[in-house]
């Protein structure tokens, strides 16, 4: 039996949240209401969501040796996430993000910086670090490293899922080894130059033959393409405090759902619910819910369907 349910490879960050009563106009000036230091990052936060849902999670990545790095390590270790293959880079600041949150809407603007010394090279990825897992998840920032991980996983019949939001050099070599592609709404259009998201998803899936090609749609939910066609799942309406980390929690919930053998419709619905719950508190990991909380939200909450996606998914 594999030691881990999921291994996550990629970014972590320690965020400074700045709460703004309203977002300033260009070249304007406003006082901020509150400043909060909070751990985050795409893959690290997804692993936190997996761990809180009961999965045995392992994180592989690089962390700076400053105070922000210490905060990140403590947050992951405190949840029992395995950190044996995390590298602490000496005299290096951890990846940092300053996140401006508009308190009137909960929407955020992210300013980030990652030192080149945090680069995760392919030589760090070995078969021993990958094969003892039921699933591999990564972002696309350090493309050579995650590409190697995907090749190892494919050779050992371990399913691979990825969170990608923009085009990275060399990602075309990674895509043939992806089983579950979950992108931003912009990526399929950027990759294919096809402005129709349905056609763009179909083009990517047709070329690379992944099981699922999906995209997150923010406040409009999520969309996926499988052998059975398109599935659209509307977002849940909640009192949005902060959208930071919603996509990361979606990805963690998506991985959990696949490992539990859920249908694609149930996977998208559950992942949307977990993302929505996280938006009801501040920070990338502000309110990662339980299965019971997600089910309660799914049972009672209003949905925010997008007419174009909803109609097209049923044609």
Asked whether residue 290 is assigned to any structural domain, the reply reads yes
**Count of domains forming the chain:** 1
In a domain, 110, yes or no: no
> How much is the mean pLDDT over the chain?
95
In this prediction the pTM is 0.94
Q: How does residue 315 score in pLDDT terms, banded at 50, 70 and 90?
A: very low
The string of pLDDT tens digits covering residues 258-300 is 999 999 999 999 999 999 999 999 999 999 999 999 999 999 8
pLDDT reported for residue 142? 97
Each residue of 245-255: pLDDT tens digit?
999 999 999 99
Are the C-beta atoms of 135 and 161 separated by less than 8 Å?
yes
**Does residue 78 fall inside a structural domain?**
yes
Residue 33 lies in a domain: no
* Residue pLDDT, tens place only, 156-213: 999 999 999 999 999 999 999 999 999 999 999 999 999 999 999 999 999 999 999 9
Provide the pLDDT confidence category of residue 305 given band limits of 50, 70 and 90.
confident
Look at residue 106 and tell me if it is in a domain.
no
* 169: containing domain: 4-12+41-94+116-312
Q: Is residue 168 part of a domain?
A: yes
Q: Is residue 103 part of a domain?
A: no
Look-up of token digits 């349905």: 198
pLDDT tens for 41-74 read 999 999 999 999 999 999 999 999 999 999 999 9
Please give the Cα distance from 252 to 271 (Å, whole number): 8
CATH code for position 236: 3.40.1190.20
- 311 pLDDT above the threshold of 70: no
């Amino acid at each position: 039996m594999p030691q881990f349910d999921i291994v996550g490879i990629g970014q972590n960050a320690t965020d400074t949240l700045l709460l703004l009563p309203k977002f300033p106009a260009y070249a304007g000036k406003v006082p901020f209401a509150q400043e909060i230091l909070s751990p985050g990052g795409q893959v690290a936060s997804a692993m936190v969501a997996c761990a809180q849902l009961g999965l045995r999670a392992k994180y592989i990545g690089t962390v700076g040796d400053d105070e922000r790095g210490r905060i990140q390590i403590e947050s992951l270790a405190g949840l029992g996430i395995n950190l044996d293959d995390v590298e602490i880079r000496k005299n290096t600041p951890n990846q940092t993000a300053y996140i401006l949150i508009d308190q009137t809407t909960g929407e955020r603007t992210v300013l980030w910086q990652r030192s080149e010394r945090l680069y995760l090279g392919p030589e760090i990825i070995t078969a021993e670090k990958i094969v003892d897992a039921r699933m591999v998840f990564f972002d696309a920032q350090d493309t050579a490293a995650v590409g190697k991980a995907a090749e190892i996983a494919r050779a050992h019949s371990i399913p691979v899922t990825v969170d990608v939001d923009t085009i990275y050099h060399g990602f075309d070599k990674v895509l043939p080894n992806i089983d579950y592609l979950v992108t931003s709404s912009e990526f399929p259009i950027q990759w294919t130059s096809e402005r129709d998201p349905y056609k763009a998803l179909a083009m990517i899936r047709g070329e690379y033959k992944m099981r699922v090609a999906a995209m997150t749609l923010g406040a409009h939910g999520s969309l996926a393409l499988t052998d059975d066609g398109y599935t659209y799942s509307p977002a849940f309406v909640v009192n949005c405090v902060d959208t930071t980390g919603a996509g990361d929690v979606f990805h963690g919930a998506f991985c959990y759902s696949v490992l539990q053998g859920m249908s694609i419709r149930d996977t998208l619905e559950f992942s949307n619910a977990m993302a929505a719950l996280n938006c009801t508190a501040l920070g990338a990991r502000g309110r990662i819910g339980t299965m019971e909380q997600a089910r309660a939200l799914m049972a009672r909450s209003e949905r925010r369907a997008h007419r174009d996606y909803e109609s097209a998914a049923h044609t």
